[in-house]
Structure 1
Amino acid sequence: ANLFFNVIAKRYEQGSVVVTSNLPFSQWSNAFADDTTLTAALLDRLLHHSHIIQISGESYRLKGKRALGTVPTVLQNESERQG
């Protein structure tokens, strides 16, 4: 968590950063050892001048496997809930 914060803090208002995540921002503190203060500071810097693109729908990577019937049931159920 500290390393990621340091990267974002050094890049803040200095240059572009691209970050992808499958977690909503509300769950980021869980990913960073429940450090809500650090997570809030990180998100504050990251989101200040950001453009957020939220993509939803079926996984493009699983499309071919789904056609072949080789996608595990767990992934199929997850995809159905999201779609």
Structure 2
Amino acid sequence: AILLTSNQSLGAWGDVFGDAVIASAILDRLLHHATTINIKGDSYRLREKRKAGLVRSTVTAHAER
């Protein structure tokens, strides 16, 4: 069994690897018979940093522009 996590969407893997064809081949092999789970929202680390005031929320940052 393999568990693979990424903070990049599958569509962005071409940019990550610098070649969309290679990224597509990698994803084809990884995702064959795979179960994917897409988790949306802030990570626990980011949430805790926001609570501590170390990172501004995106809502606050957009409002200041």
Q: Is the shorter-chain TM-score for this pair beyond 0.5, marking a shared fold?
A: yes
Q: How does 1:52-67 map to 2 (within 5 A)?
A: 52-67=36-51
Q: How does 1:34-53 map to 2 (within 5 A)?
A: 35-53=19-37
CA distance in 2, matches of 1:53, 1:30: 21
Q: Percent identity?
A: 42
Deviant stretches of 4+, over 3 Å: none
CA distance in 1, matches of 2:21, 2:30: 14
Counterpart AA for 2:29: R
TM (norm. structure 2) is 0.72
CA distance in 2, matches of 1:36, 1:67: 38
CA distance in 2, matches of 1:22, 1:38: 19
TM (norm. structure 1) is 0.59
The higher-RCO structure (CA 8 Å, 6+ apart) is 1
Residues matched between the structures, number:
61
> What is the deviation of 1:26?
0.9
Residue in 2 aligned with 1:18? Answer: 3
CA distance in 1, matches of 2:47, 2:24: 36
Q: Does 1:31 align with 2:39?
A: no
> What is the deviation of 1:43?
0.7
Is the partner of 2:58 in helix, strand or coil? Answer: helix
Greater shift in the superposed pair: 53-62 or 20-29: 53-62
